[in-house]
Amino acid sequence: GTGSDTEAPAGQNDVVVLDARNLYETRIGKFHVPNVETLHPEIRQYSDLPLWIDEHTEKLRGKSIMMYCTGGIRCEMASAYIRSKGEGFENVFQLYGGIQRYLEQYPDGGYFDGKNFVFDHRISVGSNKDNILGTCLVCGSTYDDYSSRCRCSNCRMLVLVCSTCQDSTKEYVCELCLKNGKQCCEISVKQDCQAEPELSEPSDIGKLSISNKISTSKAPGSNGKVVSS
């Protein structure tokens, strides 16, 4: 529909930005809005997000929640799930068109730093800023290239391993597995860095209602106003 300026229902301190993407995506790019808290669930896959929301309801209750993801599909589902919790969870908004459309409208990156992970042969798309947020899992050097498709030996989540540290005789353990005390497992190490079937972004939004959308004509939380449709 046509957009119209509407005052955000709460002050800036009552606004949170919620990244609905997976951890491996947020490693290489994310929004940074000054003076607005951003929540990064650090999930391995989208199906883990509802549980994270359940465990952080008090963090979200009464807030104006500004959600974003790659292209908007995951936010459609997640925003409906949050609203289903009832009173205190009515003000949920999403970035219309996701990061992809935002970067098209703001080639300099705007409030988005790093690169947008995409689910096709490009792997990631950056802005004119061309800054690098990611770091190599092994040596900690600046790095954000997933083209080698290196994966955690335990959970198979993508990990960043620079070309210098890539070694077919080694296994890699992601930060989430390390946090849970998991070490390298006994698998074929040759599987750690090789091409695997392309990842795909969830596309089935079923019969979920369409959520409010934040127009890319304004950055999330930039001035207390949003454009909804």
Parallel, antiparallel, or unpaired for β 112-117 and 124-126? Answer: antiparallel
Q: How far apart are CA 71 and CA 97, in angstroms?
A: 5
Q: What are phi and psi of 64, to 5 degrees?
A: -90, 115
| Opening angle at CA 38, ends 36 and 42, nearest 5 | 175
Assess whether 165 carries a catalytic annotation: no
- Tokens matching residue 195: 């091409």
Count of positions (residues) in the chain? 229
- Tokens matching residue 214: 């934040």
Could you tell me which residues come within 8 angstroms of residue 18 by beta carbon, excluding any fewer than 6 positions away?
38, 39, 41, 60, 65, 66, 67, 68, 78
> Of the listed 69, 75, 136, 177, which one is catalytic?
69
Q: What Rg, from alpha-carbon coordinates, does the chain have?
A: 18
| Opening angle at CA 30, ends 26 and 31, nearest 5 | 150
The position carrying tokens 């990244």 is 19
Q: How far apart are CA 25 and CA 22, in angstroms?
A: 5
Among 81, 137, 127, 121, smallest CA distance to 101 is for 127
* Residues identified as active-site: 69
